[in-house]
Amino acid sequence: MNGHKRYESNPEEVVRVRVPKKHEREILGIVESMLGANKIRVRCTDGVVRLGRIPGKLKKRTWIRAGDVVILVPWDFQDEKADVKWRYTRPQVDWLEKRGYLKG
pLDDT tens, 83-92? Answer: 999 999 999 9
pTM value is 0.78
Q: How far is CA 53 from CA 50, 57, 61, 80, 104, in A?
A: 10, 12, 15, 11, 25
Amino acid at 96: L
Query: Alpha-carbon distance 88 to 78, whole Å?
Result: 25
pLDDT score of 104 more than 70: no
pLDDT band at 9 (very low <50, low <70, confident <90, very high): low
pLDDT band at 37 (very low <50, low <70, confident <90, very high): confident
Q: Which architecture does CATH list for 22-98?
A: Beta Barrel (2.40)
- Going by their DSSP bridges, the two strands 27-36 and 49-53 should be labelled as unpaired
What confidence tens digit (pLDDT) does each residue in 53-71 have? 998 877 778 888 999 999 9
Amino acid at 19: V
